[in-house]
Amino acid sequence: MEKRFYINTIGCQMNVHDSERIHALMQGCGYRPTPFPEDADLIFLNTCAIREKAEQKAYSFLGRLAAMKDQNPNLIIAVGGCVAQQDADRILERMAHVDLVLGTRAYGRLPGIIEKVSREKRRIVDVDAGETPEEKETFFSQEPVKADLGVSRFVTIMQGCDNFCAYCVVPFVRGRERSRNPEEILSEIRDLVEKGVREVTLLGQNVNSYGKKEGICSFSELLARINSIDNLYRIRFTTSHPKDLSDDLAETFGRLDKLCRHIHLPVQSGSDRILKRMNRRYTRVHYMDRIQALRSACPEIAVTTDIIVGFPGETEGDFQETLDLIETVQFDSLFAFKYSDRKGTRAAELTGKVPEKIKAQRLKTLFGLQRVLTLEKNRALVGTFQEILVDGPSKKEKKQSGTTDPGFAQWTGRTSGNKIVNFNVKKDALFNHRIHSGAQVRVYVQQAFANSLSGEIPA
Ligand code: SAH
Ligand code: SF4
Ligand code: F3S
């Protein structure tokens, strides 16, 4: 009987992306996917180590699998991703039912490992940092498997990170920065476009330094080349590091028609003292200068950010500076996290740890402020026309409840600035307006909410 596998993915898009290729490799090993862990012969957990919560999630999922393994001793339990890379021994020690531990660069060896584990029935650990070109090829040549490709896809352009921000585990679990060859990236995107994808988000921990080490093309050159792919409508990228954001890259926002008017530029803190302790290697003034450069190249650009509250040594005064920066920049939206100690990082050794309760209070204050700012930004779009890339029918529509007026259908998509817009369109006009997933339509914005906008396509 054919064997079945189940994958559970925790963490960022890098992991989602890896899981899609692991999926393809598993199929190559004669397994087929099942949506139910209880039906699986192999369960693969792809883990994230960025904050303690993510790590706990992994251990609690693994904990729940123990009983399943008791009932079915032939079940193979595999753990991959960033926790596996960092904590293989701990996983093996704490989780006696785990058979396989694979680091973030072992996936190219997966077929051999799967065969070995089924044959030899013993625990295997592979967290080697090395990857031969053939192993890399084995992994990257896999066509990512996803039931429905959808309109928008992530494309990895680089892996790893060399920045060593004091709080961050990524350089330890993903290794040194390496860029993919531009030809490979372009051909992956062309292929996606042929399958109906209309928007790509280029992924890397620090995309500004794309190609620098390898001396291949620069990031702005790569963007220009992607911009010329026919039938691709939109390009996004994430993440940029403020220290490396060049004027040239800022100016591409005014230059390339497919590049979305949105940048995610994590600031982490508004206090120079904390930025220094974080090893971010820029100051508040530099950050503001980069925002200025972006806005002068492209006045309507939406800016979002990441913030960490309660970094070791953060005083009330430092936190006020962060709030002040948020007000000054007027971000469109942001992600904020309570600082979480990560083993092996420099920040874990720092004194001045901030109590949980204070971190929680600061997070709450910060979100309170941002909620108001986001709403203001969203309200500013009421009464304008926005070009929307259509994702598909809205959630409400899918649930069959639809709009209050049965003559209308509700669809959803995003603006160039990455804001979600739900819009109504007369059912009998759907065809005339050529509305379908992947279409670009002009929507009149009527209402603003905290996390979305709503509008209509005038008849
Ligand atoms: N490479 C990207 C993002 C990496 S992780 C960048 O440089 O911006 C995504 C976000 O998680 C970070 O921007 C940071 O805000 C947060 N983060 C990372 N490590 C953390 C930690 N130890 N505690 C709390 N938040 C953390
Ligand atoms: Fe982590 Fe800093 Fe690298 Fe981002 S740039 S992945 S925060 S070390
Ligand atoms: Fe991503 Fe988490 Fe690893 S954020 S790189 S899966 S630690």
Which CATH number fits the domain that encloses residue 60?
Answer: 3.40.50.12160
- Ligand 1: residue whose CA is nearest its atom 9: 306
Query: Under a CB-based contact definition with an 8 Å cutoff, are residues 385 and 442 in contact?
Result: yes
Last residue of a domain, one of 130, 158, 179: 130
* Whether 294 and 194 share a structural domain: yes
Cis peptide before 239 (omega within 30 of 0): yes
Is the beta carbon of 220 within 6 A of some atom in ligand 2? no
Closest ligand 1 atom, residue 264 Cα: 8
Residues in Cβ contact with 129 at an 8 Å cutoff, skipping those fewer than 6 apart? 103, 105, 175
Q: Are the beta carbons of 135 and 110 closer than 8 angstroms?
A: no
Do 359 and 341 share a structural domain?
Answer: yes
pTM of the full structure: 0.89
**Using a 6 Å cutoff on CB, does residue 265 contact ligand 3?**
no
Q: What is the pLDDT of residue 145?
A: 72
Same domain? 89 vs 150: no
How many domains is the chain partitioned into structurally?
3
Give distance in angstroms: CA of 338 to centre of ligand 2. Answer: 16
> Whose C-alpha lies nearest to ligand 1, atom 24?
339
Q: Tell me what pLDDT residue 434 has.
A: 75
Cβ burial 33-62 (10 Å sphere, 16+ → b, else e): ebeebeebbbbbbbbbbbbeebbebbbebb
- Residue 14 near ligand 3, beta carbon < 6 Å: yes
- From the CA of 169, give the closest atom in ligand 3: 7
Q: How far apart are CA 63 and CA 102, in angstroms?
A: 18
> What local confidence, expressed as pLDDT, does residue 198 receive?
95
Nearest ligand (C-alpha, residue 11): 3
Q: What is the residue-wise DSSP string for 88-132?
A: HHHHHHH-TT--EEE-TT-GGGHHHHHHHHHHH-S-EEE--S---
**Which protein residue's CA is at the shortest distance from atom 13 of ligand 1?**
306
Instruction: Specify whether 260 is located in the same domain as 242.
Output: yes
Ligand nearest to the CA of 167: 1
Residues 116 and 162 in one domain: no
Tell me the C-alpha distance between 221 and 177, whole Å. 19
Picking from 327, 350, 379, the residue at the C-terminal end of a domain is: 379
Q: Tell whether 115 and 200 lie within a shared domain.
A: no
Residue 290's SS3 state is helix
Q: What is the 3-state secondary structure (H, E, C) of 248-283?
A: HHHHHHHHCCCECCEEECCCECCCHHHHHHCCCCCC
Which of ligand 3's atoms lies nearest the C-alpha of 47?
6
Q: What angle do CA 426, 428, 430 make, to 5 degrees?
A: 70
Q: Which atom of ligand 2 is nearest to the CA of 162?
A: 3
List Cα–Cα distances, 179 to 14, 42, 118, 271, in angstroms: 14, 32, 34, 32
Q: Could you list the residue range(s) of the whole structural domain that residue 413 is in? A: 385-456
Of 334, 361, 379, the one marking the end of a domain is: 379
Report the atom number in ligand 3 closest to the C-alpha of 15. Answer: 6
- If one residue of 47, 50, 85, 167 were mutated to test the ligand 3 pocket, choosing by the most ligand atoms within 8 A of its CB, it would be 50
- What residue type is 285 in one-letter code? V
* Ranges in the chain, pLDDT < 50: 401-402
**Whether the CB of 161 sits within 6 Å of ligand 2:** yes
The whole-angstrom separation of Cα 24 and Cα 20 is: 7
Describe the chain by its helix, strand, coil percentages, rounded to 5.
Answer: 40, 20, 40
Ligand 2 centroid–CA 238 distance in Å is 12
Residue whose Cα lies nearest atom 4 of ligand 3: it is: 12
Q: Is residue 410 domain-shared with residue 324, that is, in the same domain?
A: no
Q: According to the model, what pLDDT value does residue 181 have?
A: 93
* Residues 375 and 391 placed together within one structural domain of the fold: no
CATH number for position 393 = 2.40.50
Residues 193 and 317 in one domain: yes
Mutate to test the pocket of ligand 2, among 167, 172, 241, 281 (most ligand atoms within 8 A of CB): 241
Q: How many CA atoms lie within 13 A of 110 on its CB side?
A: 31
Residue among 237, 267, 306 whose CB has most ligand 1 atoms within 8 A, to mutate: 306
Q: For residue 90, what are its two tokens?
A: 């701990």
Are residues 263 and 242 part of one domain? Answer: yes
Q: Atom 2, ligand 3: which residue's CA is nearest?
A: 48
Q: Quote the pLDDT of residue 432.
A: 65
> What distance in angstroms lies between residue 165's CA and the mean position of ligand 1's atoms?
9
Query: Which 3 state secondary structure label does DSSP give 306?
Result: strand
For ligand 1, atom 1, name the residue with the nearest CA. Answer: 205
Confidence at residue 253, expressed as pLDDT on a 0 to 100 scale: 96
- Token look-up 């093309």 returns 217
Q: Report DSSP state, residue 162.
A: -
Q: Would you say the CB of residue 175 lies under 6 angstroms from ligand 2?
A: no
pLDDT at 436: 85
pLDDT of residue 402: 47
The residues facing 7 across adjacent strands are 44
What pLDDT is attached to residue 146? Answer: 66
**Region of residue 164 (phi > 0: left; psi between -120 and 50: alpha; otherwise: beta):** left
Q: Tell me how far apart the alpha carbons of residues 306 and 270 are, in angstroms, rounded to a whole number.
A: 11
- Domain with residue 263: its CATH number is 3.80.30.20
Rounded distance between C-alpha atoms, residue 391 and residue 393, angstroms: 7
Q: How far is the CA of 82 from the centre of ligand 3 (A)?
A: 6
Q: Are residues 199 and 312 in the same domain?
A: yes
The answer, yes or no, to whether any atom of ligand 2 lies below 6 A from the CB of 378, is no
Tokens of 395: 């959630």
Rounded to 10 deg, the angle between the 284-297 and 316-329 helix axes is 10
Same domain, residue pair 84 and 209: no
81 Cα: distance to centroid of ligand 3 (angstroms): 8
Q: 417 C-alpha vs ligand 2 centroid, how far in Å?
A: 24
